[in-house]
């Protein structure tokens, strides 16, 4: 596990500046405190920071093949590297280490850029082929490991995190305003663009190659399988047995390590299932780590303890105080490079710090909700479609418009629920699935955004709709397909950046690509049964996960920011949403912001997540656009938060 960086000058007569490359590399020290490396040859420079996991002594990077004609920097873990090695040795390759890095090098020598198709695991790497004068960038199938890049007039720069690209000095930090409507609607940017003008992300399952002769070329080598095929009828129990075997196989492969490893345990079905499967596979009690808040509505620690006791784990936990949460926020925005979409990113960082005191590697349950239809929005959309089918078929559009107007006159609480139903929605995925669960729906954005041109510049849901329509399955399959390629990628970036901020490697067995390919082929009726989510996963784990956890209501790692913004931490909203610096940017309409904030503070409406996005955007602007020191960002509210409420 590493942080990687690189510069390729487009003019082959030029030489990479070593001081620039070193600055880029050392910004990522948190990703790799165990070692460092640089390799520069004329117009090409590669750098890395290493967190040593496999072949601790021998896996140093940048690494070359036998004759020094191919060089690589690599971030990740290839779980099948030991299985690939004998075949490569039979073809004449001589290994000098036990590391998976060397396997990628030799596989590239045999397969070229198609080498990625044989790798099982999580990875982002940059490889320079000296003979061909060609750079190859690659990212794993699901986007577990990040890779960003930027083209300038004179060079290509790339890195594991955007801040390293900025440290190179050829890209100036500036807000990419075109993505703001998408950020407001979904909380993240689904496509190649980022919050930084000119900085792009290599999307999952892609390679990007460049040479002077051929220029840049991007290739998609993997996609989530089409889920439309429904094979021979099977029972839920039979499917459950298959899932149990597949998941156990994935867990076993993810235990590859030469250093201690543990598990993030939330007390939900997904991580509890991993604990139950992992425990018999290791000699000593597994080490589990959990985090929560003192607020009863945001504390799942009792369930985490229950899961830990059930498998005899060595369990540790951390309670995060609200003041700690907000004190850490600017530093974590810096780590995440972009405004933080999920409040749960913050406690994830604290539990990662706790884990780092005992292990270097943790397994997590990320990805199970998207694979097994675990979110409430899946069943809400499915039932809206089912119940609304007759209504939409028999009611003319004018009548439906009149009903929507009547629904707007209902009492506030009833109006809120009616707005989520088929009587207020048109029968298409944009309205039923995306707009229905938007943070700031597109219909609301004209009241918020100051520049009307931003509203029409692009479709905020374009990337998600493209992913939705890419498969020929039914509505449930399409929702899962879209989330696996958009929403999940953002979750994985949270997972990577918050764990790596504490120098911990996180692994996601549910996203082993072979498991993903198998599970996406399971009919949706075995995943969502009525209102029961993840039915086949429950069947797979029914005898190893405590019943109290199987039957509990999903909480989704709640963070009580809504309540905090109403009382003690109202000054955070006042400063970063309503303050003169925030309003002075001219991005949003002040009157709407004031109404939003006051409705929330008075308790007449819950705008907690909306205010969270706006607070994070302003913190991001101060750190990256304004260049303010991270330690100074919270100073304007420190005294006021202590005395407020």
Active-site annotation, residues: 2
Phi then psi for residue 39, to 5 deg, are -140, 125
Contacts with 490 (C-beta within 8 Å, 6 or more apart), sequence order:
187, 188, 190, 341, 342
Phi then psi for residue 288, to 5 deg, are -120, 150
* 415, HSE (Cβ side, Cα atoms, 13 Å): 11
Strand order in the sheet with 121-129: 63-64, 70-78, 121-129, 134-139, 206-211, 215-220
- Long-range CB contact pairs, 449-454, < 8 A, 24+: 449/180, 449/181, 449/184, 449/587, 449/588, 449/589, 450/586, 450/587, 450/588, 450/589, 451/177, 451/587, 454/177, 454/178, 454/180, 454/181
Q: How far apart are CA 174 and CA 620, in angstroms?
A: 11
Phi then psi for residue 227, to 5 deg, are -100, 15
Nearest to 258 by CA among 58, 510, 73, 514: 58
CB 142 within 8 A of CB 488: yes
Listing DSSP states for 26-65 in one string gives HTTGGG-BTEEEEEEETTEEEEEEE---SSTTT--SSEE-
Q: Which two tokens stand for residue 412?
A: 């506030």
Q: How far apart are CA 120 and CA 542, in angstroms?
A: 28
Nearest to 613 by CA among 561, 566, 546: 561
Nearest to 287 by CA among 266, 263, 319: 263
DSSP H helical ranges for 373-438: 376-394, 397-407, 412-418, 429
Q: Which two tokens stand for residue 409?
A: 């006159």
Contacts with 87 (C-beta within 8 Å, 6 or more apart), sequence order:
none
- Region of 485 please: left (phi>0), alpha (psi -120 to 50) or beta: alpha
Q: C-alpha 10: how far from its chain's center?
A: 32
For residue 634, what are the CA distances in angstroms to 196, 586, 608?
23, 22, 19
Where b means 16+ CB within 10 Å and e means fewer, 535-567 reads bbbbbbbeebbbeebbeeeeeebbbbbbbbbbe
Q: Which two tokens stand for residue 430?
A: 């944009």
3-state secondary structure of 264: strand
Give the torsion sign (CA, 102, 105, 111, 117): positive
Give the torsion sign (CA, 248, 252, 253, 255): positive
């Amino acid at each position: 596990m590493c942080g990687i960086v690189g510069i390729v000058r487009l003019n082959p007569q030029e030489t990479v500046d070593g001081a620039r490359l070193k600055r880029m590399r050392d910004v990522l020290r948190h990703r790799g405190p165990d070692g460092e490396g640089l390799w520069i040859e004329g117009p090409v420079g590669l750098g890395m920071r290493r967190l040593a996991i496999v072949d601790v002594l021998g896996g140093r990077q940048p690494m070359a093949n036998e004759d020094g004609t191919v060089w690589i920097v690599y971030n990740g873990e290839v779980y099948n590297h030991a299985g690939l090695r004998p075949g490569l040795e039979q073809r004449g390759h001589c290994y000098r280490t036990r590391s998976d890095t060397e396997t990628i090098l030799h596989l590239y020598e045999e397969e070229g850029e198609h080498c990625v198709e044989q790798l099982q695991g999580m990875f982002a790497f940059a490889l320079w082929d000296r003979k061909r004068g060609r750079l190859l960038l690659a990212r794993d199938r699901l986007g577990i490991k990040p890779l960003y890049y930027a083209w300038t007039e004179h060079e290509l720069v790339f890195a594991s995190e955007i801040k390293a690209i900025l440290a190179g000095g050829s890209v100036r930090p500036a807000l990419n305003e075109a993505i703001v409507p998408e950020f407001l609607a979904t909380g993240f940017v689904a496509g190649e663009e980022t919050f930084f003008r000119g900085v792009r992300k290599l999307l999952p399952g892609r390679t990007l190659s460049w040479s002077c002769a051929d220029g840049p070329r991007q290739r998609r080598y993997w996609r989530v399988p089409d889920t439309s095929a429904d094979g021979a009828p099977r029972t839920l129990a039979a499917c459950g047995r298959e899932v149990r075997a597949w998941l156990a196989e994935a867990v076993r492969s993810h235990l590859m390590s030469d250093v201690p490893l543990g598990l993030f345990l939330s007390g939900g079905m997904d991580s509890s299932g991993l604990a139950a499967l992992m425990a018999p596979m290791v000699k000593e009690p597994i080490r589990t780590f959990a985090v929560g808040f003192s607020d009863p509505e945001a504390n799942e620690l009792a369930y985490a303890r229950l899961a830990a006791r059930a498998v005899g784990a060595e369990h540790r936990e951390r309670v995060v105080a609200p003041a700690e949460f907000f004190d850490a926020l600017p530093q974590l925005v810096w780590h995440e490079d972009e405004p933080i979409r999920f409040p749960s990113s913050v406690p994830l960082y604290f539990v990662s710090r706790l884990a780092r005191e005992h292990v270097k590697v943790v397994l997590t349950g990320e990805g199970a909700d998207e694979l097994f239809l675990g979110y409430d929005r899946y069943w809400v959309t499915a039932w809206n479609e089912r119940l609304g089918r007759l209504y939409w078929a028999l009611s003319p559009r004018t009548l439906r418009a009149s009903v929507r107007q009547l629904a707007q006159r209902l009492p506030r609480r009833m109006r809120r629920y009616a707005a989520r139903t088929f009587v207020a929605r048109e029968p298409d995925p944009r309205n039923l699935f995306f707009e229905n669960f938007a943070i700031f729906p597109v219909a609301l954005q004209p009241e918020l955004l100051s520049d009307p041109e931003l509203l029409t510049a692009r479709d905020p849901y374009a990337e998600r709709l493209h992913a939705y329509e890419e498969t020929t399955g039914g509505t449930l399959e399409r929702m899962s397909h879209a989330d696996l390629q958009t929403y999940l990628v953002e979750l994985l970036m949270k997972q990577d950046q918050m764990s790596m901020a504490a120098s911990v490697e996180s692994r996601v067995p549910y996203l082993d690509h072979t498991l993903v390919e198998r599970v996406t082929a399971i009919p949706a009726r075995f995943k969502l049964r009525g209102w029961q989510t993840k039915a086949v996963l429950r069947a797979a784990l029914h005898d190893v996960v405590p019943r109290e956890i199987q039957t509990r209501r999903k909480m989704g790692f709640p963070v009580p920011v809504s309540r905090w913004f109403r009382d003690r931490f109202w000054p955070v909203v006042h400063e970063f949403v309503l303050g003169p610096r925030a309003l002075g940017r001219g991005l949003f309409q002040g009157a709407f912001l004031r109404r939003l904030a006051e409705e929330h503070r008075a308790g007449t409406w819950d705008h907690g997540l909306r205010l969270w996005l706006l607070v994070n955007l302003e913190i991001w602007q101060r750190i990256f656009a304004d260049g303010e020191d991270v330690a100074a960002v919270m100073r304007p509210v420190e005294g006021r938060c202590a005395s407020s409420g």
